[in-house]
Structure 1
Amino acid sequence: MNNSLGIISAFLGGALVGTAAALLFAPEKGEDLRARIIDLLRKKGILCTEADVDSLVEKLKEDLES
């Protein structure tokens, strides 16, 4: 049972990162895109601020550049 939970968590984490990366590469204004990310996360029950999204964007940029 614990192994299944780990697999599900890994899948959901990968899906979230993949979705964020896809949104970041979409041809859309950065401000509009960040608002969309915040709305999407709020619909999923994840509360975050614009500063949280900015931090996520910077982290993803660093990960993609390395």
Structure 2
Amino acid sequence: MRRVIGIDVHRTFGEVVVWEDGRLRHAGRIDMTRTALEGFGKTLLASDEVVVEATANSMARARVGWRR
């Protein structure tokens, strides 16, 4: 089963959506802090595909790494 997570990055938060089984659902907001991003990363599956908006604050996510 393919799951794609998209994050629309804003200054202090990101809007998260999940596409799974042909359906798109809003998964809430995530703070753009290291702690919040690390916690979110721990909920991801190794098979998840994550798409992050390329914007100034996407560097916060890049610094955290989310690699498994």
User: What is the TM-score normalised by the length of structure 1?
Assistant: 0.33
Structure having the higher Rg: 1
Query: Normalised by the size of structure 2, how large is the TM-score?
Result: 0.32
Q: Which has the higher strand share?
A: 2
Greater relative contact order (Cα 8 A, min sep 6): structure 1 or 2? Answer: 2
Bigger helix fraction: 1
